[in-house]
Structure 1
Amino acid sequence: MNELYPIGDVARRTGLSVSAIRFYADEGVVAPTGVTEGGFRRYDVHAIARLELVRTLRDLGAGLDDIRRVVAEESTLHELAARHLRLVEDQLQQFRARRAVLRTIVRQHTPAEQVGLMHKLVSMSDDDRDRLISRFWDFVTDGLDVHPGYLERLRSRRPHLPEEPSTEQLEAWIELAEVVQDEQFRTELRAFFRRAFGTERGKLMATPEMLARAEQRRVLYLEAQAAQQAGVPPDAPQARDIAERMVADSAGFLAAMTGTHDADEARRSMAGFDRARSERTRAALTGTNLMVRYTTLVATINGTPRPDPGKTAAVQEWLAAALRHETT
């Protein structure tokens, strides 16, 4: 015998209120299985199961028409879930953007007139972001007389905000978008590049040959970094081997720049590395610091490793120790 349950029991089983159960019955979503002579509604286990589905769909944000179609099997649960998943993902993206704006306002004590700009920045399309960065590099590299390959390399350093960015990535994008539109930042960076590449030696640095050497040096540095971070002691044969190859690479790099190959000078320079002096020198290099700021923000947005002067200095100290050990 199919037992029928009074509406009060159904409410306790499904978690829906009595008024909600009556509402869904009146709307034709889940009709009662039967009605007593006194007008009391009764529901069997199948109707209760449908009401439990109704409650789940309601809690997931489904509207009445969608619920009605699923219960009536006019629409599949998969179709409804896919449609609502897209809506939820859109809402999450909007909430992340709002949270990024609000956190930036709180952190920077942003004036009211800039709030609208911040919201506009996080709401930009991929094409709008790309055009903003292109205008920035057009300005910075205007009139820069270097190899076209180097210009392309510079312009390739641009942000790619993922489809589901984190709050940190959105905050970095807000800051970057403000930075690349800041007249002082743009002007100082353009002046830096013109100073750096305004001489024959500077132009040589931007040639494909020197860029290839720089990439070779970067790969060797990453090998040194991996060994240092893995705890290889500076007096280990592996450390000494890497340090010797770094010396040879530095000497070759300087020879390509000056025409003079001096391995002893390269060795003395590397072995005499001084972190404090290096930090003072870096702090005085305005243009370099501007590029580090830009590169750091782009790396945060793209989810790639960010420049870390502290880690770089630790590797240089490790290499210096390895070279000094050889002479003892």
Structure 2
Amino acid sequence: MNDHELYPIGDAARRSGLSVSAVRFYADTGLIEPTGLNEAGHRMYDIDAIARLELVRTLRELDTDLGEIRRLLEGGTTLHDLLTTHLEIVERQERTLRARRAVLRTLIKQGDTTAQADLMHKLVSMTDEEREQTIDDFWNDVGEDLDVPEGFVDRLRTMRPVLPADPTAAQLEAWIELADLLRNPAFRDAVRTYLQDAYSTPETRALATEPFQDFMHVSGASLIEELLAEYRAGECPRSPRAQQTVTRFMEAAAALSGTPLTPEVRNRMADGYRQVPDILRQIAEEEAISESPVYDDTHGRYVSLVALINGTATEEDHDSLPYAWIADAMSAAEPLRP
């Protein structure tokens, strides 16, 4: 293409990707005027005019209105600023479409009514403050008159869903399900009943105390992660590294009850870990025939949905933990003196 050559409107249209009528319209509105006229009075366009026509076509495909394009061509704004603004618009539209898709997929899956569709749209459109209030209302209701150690419910409520500014469809679907459950009185009652049954007996109240919860979710959890890393790396349970970690774990666990880590305590811990798979299977069998709310359908469902929303890994599957390996490491630890 020659820099000084002039091209008829048909060529300008073809080279810019527009129709002849569109090129004529932009000329008539003064947006992109022709460079000149030929002897027959027909409109002619040079390279610069064709390049601007091509830019107009691109911006129109991005739904840029003619007023914004005119300001750009007249020097009232820069292309960078215009594209930045439109990127923000497209991203907002994308988030809106993603939210709608999540609602539609959930409705199709559940086969819900028009009223439920309206509710789901409101759920995904909640502000951060409204989401926080929904969660607080849920835990306030669940914790009312719950006979568990002081501070236990407050610890549970610290695990909260935080929907990111640009959530995925899966995160939105998880939030819709969770928000719907949080507002459901039957779900609240089921969670309250589960927590009451699981942590109010003399045998289990200790599990809900602050020291034990701190051990389970902070210090003890960190040591278990170290043991898992060593197991996955192929460490022998009797290796110095595994022995050091498992000893620290046993010392921290024994300290919960103020018991020194003696050989007897070490052996009881090892035996306990060897029995865990059988205990878990027995619990699962009992839950399968029990009419009482179970973890996976109550608090466990809350925890798993929060993990999906927050984009964090779900808790390690109990069945996949190397209990036998940990028990062997415990048994192999050097005898400890009281």
Q: Same fold (TM over 0.5)?
A: yes
User: Which has the larger displacement, 57-66 or 145-154?
Assistant: 145-154
Q: CA deviation at 1:58?
A: 1.3
Listed as ranges, the matches of 1:272-291 within 5 Å are 272-282=274-284, 284=286, 286-289=293-296, 290-291=298-299
Match in the other structure for 2:92: 90
Q: Which residue of 2 aligns with 1:302?
A: 310
Separation (CA, whole Å) in 2 of partners of 1:206 and 1:321: 28
Residues 326 and 157 (structure 1), Cα distance of their counterparts in 2 relative to 1, 3 Å cut: closer
State the partner residue of 1:6.
8
CA separation in 2, counterparts of 1:92 and 1:248? 52
Would you say 1:44 and 2:43 are equivalent positions? no
- Select 2:233's aligned residue among 230, 233, 242: 230
Secondary structure of 1:224's partner? helix
Aligned partner of 2:72: which letter?
V
Unpaired segments ≥5 residues, structure 2: 288-292
2:37 corresponding residue in structure 1: 35
Equivalent residue for 1:189, pick from 184, 188, 191: 191
Q: Using the TM superposition, name which of 289-298 and 157-166 deviates more.
A: 289-298
1:117 and 2:124 correspond = no
Q: Answer yes or no: is 1:217 the counterpart of 2:231.
A: no
Matched, 1:249 2:252: yes
What is the one-letter code of the residue matched to 1:263?
R
Quickly say closer, same or farther: Cα 1:293–1:267, change in 2 above 3 A: same
Q: Deviations over 1:285-313 (max 9, x none)?
A: 64533222111100110111112325x63
Alpha carbons 1:275, 1:313 under 8 Å: kept: no
* Whole-Å separation in 2 of the counterparts to 1:204 and 1:322: 26
Shift in alpha-carbon separation, 1:105–1:283, aligned structure 2, 3 A: farther
Deviations 1:223-250 (A, max 9, x none): 1122223333445443344334433333
Which deviations, in whole Å up to 9, do the C-alpha atoms of 1:113-145 show, x marking residues without a partner?
422221221111111111111110010111236
2:327 aligned with 1:320: yes
Q: Report the 3-state secondary structure (helix = DSSP H, G, I; strand = E; otherwise coil) of the residue aligned with 1:54.
A: helix
Distance between the aligned counterparts of 1:136 and 1:50, measured in 2? 58
Q: Is the Cα contact below 8 Å between 2:148 and 2:196 reproduced in 1?
A: no
Aligned Cα RMSD in Å?
2.7
Q: Is the 8 A contact 1:150 1:207 kept in 2?
A: yes
**What TM-score does the superposition give when structure 1 sets the normalisation length?**
0.87
Unaligned runs of at least 5 residues, structure 1: none
| 1:273 match: secondary structure | helix
Matched residue SS, 1:121: helix
* Cα distance between partner residues in 2 of 1:106 and 1:325: 55
- 1:204 CA drift (Å): 4.8
- 2:133 paired residue among 125, 131, 134: 131
Q: 1:224, 1:315 within 8 Å by CA — same for their partners in 2?
A: no
**In the alignment, is residue 22 of structure 1 matched against residue 24 of structure 2?**
yes
In 2, the alpha carbon distance for the partners of 1:245 and 1:45 equals 76
Provide the secondary structure at the position in 2 that maps to 1:162.
coil
SS in 1 for 2:75: coil
Matches within 5 A, 1:191-206: 191-198=193-200, 204-206=206-208
For normalisation by structure 2, the TM-score amounts to: 0.85
Residue deviations 1:77-133 (CA, integer Å, cap 9, x gap): 122122212211110011100111122123333344422221221111111111111
Q: Is the 8 A contact 2:98 2:169 kept in 1?
A: yes
Partner SS for 1:19: helix
Q: Which residue of 1 aligns with 2:169?
A: 167
